[in-house]
């Protein structure tokens, strides 16, 4: 329950189990997104004190990118986590609940033995929910078996615990894999920020591996660049000098002079503005995308409008595409209104607005 609005929110319960001993792990999350799904696995391994050799997940998109009963394609981040813990992933077949019968049974037990006792309680945070789940989980694993000696805890210590692999020395750090392309300015975009790779890779497809701290760029499974992840919204480019071509010029045919020459064909104000945009960044190449976007606006208007917008931008010293596009749209609107006004024809047989001002014409 939201403490401010009183709104009821949904929590999602992750359930996993070691089948031989029926020893479970249960934890609540705010959603079923990949980051939480992987975090649940890590918490389960730490709860068990070891790692099973095989993971049998549901056939869902957080685990499986392309379902296939013979050769499924796994989510790359999920596979990355499994590799860190030296575990194999064998997803269930679609619509085959018997492939994970132990977990299906444990979901029922968790509903009856863990969640049902909490059904009348009110919780104001996930922390409170998980504290309550932990208490009920302890009671459940100590509950005696009905047809055999012991309980789930004693069965776990006897059967499953000795078979688990040891936890690795470092905890897995969640990473996000994205397919991308190295732009003509040899930078790769991730979440609105730009990271450099060697200029020789410009135009090639790549993968970005992102953690909370680092950004790695891979081409053909070879890591070609590593950066500290950037969160500074006022400086979105990270460029390593060793990635730049000689004298920071000519990248796949693009250079400072090419943009200046392009702007010069439009007019002196546009040329001066593009020069300022190029000089506004630590390295001119960081502004190439902005220069291209600005100059392409000239395709939709006359040179007069572009020159007028460039003059205003120079006067305001706003050297970015974002603010230039606002000024450009304003100038475009003014020009459109002017054309409408100049298109009105004066003639003695055409009545003006006074004819509709409440009886301005005699019958």
Contacts with 353 (C-beta within 8 Å, 6 or more apart), sequence order? none
> Among the three residues 138, 163, 188, which one is the final residue of a domain in this structure?
163
Size of the chain in residues: 363
Show the beta-strand stretches assigned E in the chain. 12-18, 23-29, 54-55, 64-66, 73-74, 88-89, 176-181, 187-190, 193-196, 205-210, 214-219, 222-228, 237-238
For the ranges 127-136, 327-336, 344-353, 354-363, the lowest mean pLDDT is seen at 354-363
**Average pLDDT of 295-309?**
85
> Among the three residues 188, 222, 247, which one is the final residue of a domain in this structure?
247
The pLDDT value recorded for residue 286 is 77
Q: 177: which strand partners?
A: 209
Number of domains in the chain: 3
Across the chain, mean pLDDT equals 86
pLDDT tens per residue across span 308-351: 889 888 888 888 888 888 888 888 888 765 554 444 555 555 55
Q: Please indicate, yes or no, if residue 363 is contained in any of the structural domains.
A: no
The pLDDT value recorded for residue 69 is 76
Residues 235 and 330 in one domain: no
pLDDT tens per residue across span 149-173: 899 999 999 999 999 999 999 999 9
Give the integer Cα–Cα distance in Å for 162 and 48. 11
Residues 106 and 78 in one domain: yes
Residues 75 and 156 in one domain: yes
Residues 264 and 317 in one domain: yes
Residues 16 and 78 in one domain: yes
Choose among 314, 226, 215: nearest CA to 268. Answer: 314
pLDDT tens per residue across span 166-215: 999 999 999 999 999 998 888 999 999 999 999 899 899 999 999 989 99
The pLDDT value recorded for residue 162 is 95
The pLDDT value recorded for residue 361 is 43
Residues 87 and 221 in one domain: no
Higher pLDDT, residue 48 or 293: 48
Residues 125 and 20 in one domain: yes
Q: Which range of residues forms the domain containing residue 266?
A: 256-342
Residues 181 and 323 in one domain: no
The pLDDT value recorded for residue 260 is 86
Provide the 10 A C-beta neighbour count for residue 35.
Answer: 14
DSSP state of 78: H
Give the integer Cα–Cα distance in Å for 23 and 339. 77
> Among the three residues 247, 266, 299, which one is the final residue of a domain in this structure?
247
C-alpha separations of 111 from 10, 108, 115, 146 in Å: 15, 5, 5, 19
Q: Please indicate, yes or no, if residue 59 is contained in any of the structural domains.
A: yes
Q: Please indicate, yes or no, if residue 138 is contained in any of the structural domains.
A: yes
Q: Please indicate, yes or no, if residue 168 is contained in any of the structural domains.
A: no
pLDDT tens per residue across span 222-279: 999 999 999 988 888 888 888 887 655 444 456 778 888 888 888 898 889 988 888 8
Residues 40 and 98 in one domain: yes
Give the integer Cα–Cα distance in Å for 335 and 194. 36
Does 23 score more than 80 pLDDT?
A: yes
Q: 219: which strand partners?
A: 222
Q: Please indicate, yes or no, if residue 205 is contained in any of the structural domains.
A: yes
Residues 264 and 330 in one domain: yes
Residues 157 and 265 in one domain: no
CATH code, domain carrying 90: 3.30.420.10
Q: Please indicate, yes or no, if residue 159 is contained in any of the structural domains.
A: yes
Give the integer Cα–Cα distance in Å for 194 and 191. 8
Residues 264 and 306 in one domain: yes
Q: Please indicate, yes or no, if residue 171 is contained in any of the structural domains.
A: no
**Average pLDDT of 82-97?**
87
Q: Please indicate, yes or no, if residue 1 is contained in any of the structural domains.
A: no
**Average pLDDT of 111-136?**
93
């Amino acid at each position: 329950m939201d403490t401010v609005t009183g709104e009821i929110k949904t929590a999602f319960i992750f359930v996993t189990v070691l089948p031989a001993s029926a020893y479970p792990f249960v934890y609540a999350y705010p959603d079923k997104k990949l980051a939480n799904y992987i975090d649940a696995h890590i918490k389960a391994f730490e709860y068990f004190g070891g790692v099973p050799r095989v993971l049998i997940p549901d056939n869902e998109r957080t685990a499986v990118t392309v379902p296939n009963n013979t050769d499924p394609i796994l989510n790359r981040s999920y596979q990355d986590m499994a590799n860190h813990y030296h575990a194999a992933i064998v997803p269930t077949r679609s619509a085959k609940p018997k492939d994970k019968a132990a977990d299906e049974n444990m979901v029922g037990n968790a509903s009856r033995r863990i969640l049902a006792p909490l059904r009348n309680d009110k919780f104001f945070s996930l922390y409170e929910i998980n504290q309550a789940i932990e208490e009920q989980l302890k009671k459940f694993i100590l509950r005696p078996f009905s047809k055999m000696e012991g309980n789930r805890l004693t069965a776990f210590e006897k059967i499953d615990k000795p078979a688990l692999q040891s936890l690795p020395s470092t905890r897995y750090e969640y990473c996000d894999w994205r397919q991308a392309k190295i732009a003509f300015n040899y930078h790769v975009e991730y979440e609105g920020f730009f990271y450099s790779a060697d200029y020789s890779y410009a135009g090639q497809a790549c993968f970005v591996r992102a953690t909370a701290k680092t950004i790695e760029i891979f081409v053909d499974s070879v890591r070609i660049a590593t950066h500290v992840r950037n969160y500074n919204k006022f400086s979105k480019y990270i460029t390593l000098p060793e990635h730049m071509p000689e004298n920071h010029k000519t990248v796949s045919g693009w250079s400072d002079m090419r943009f200046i020459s392009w702007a010069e064909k439009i007019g002196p104000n546009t040329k001066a503005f593009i020069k300022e945009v190029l000089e506004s960044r630590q390295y001119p190449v960081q502004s190439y995308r902005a220069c291209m976007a600005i100059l392409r606006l000239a395709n939709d208007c006359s040179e007069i409008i572009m020159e007028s917008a460039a003059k205003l931008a120079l006067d305001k010293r706003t050297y970015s595409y974002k603010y230039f596009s606002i000024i450009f749209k304003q100038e475009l609107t003014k020009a459109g209104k002017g054309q409408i006004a100049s298109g009105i024809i004066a003639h003695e047989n055409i009545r003006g607005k006074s004819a509709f001002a409440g009886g301005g014409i005699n019958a």
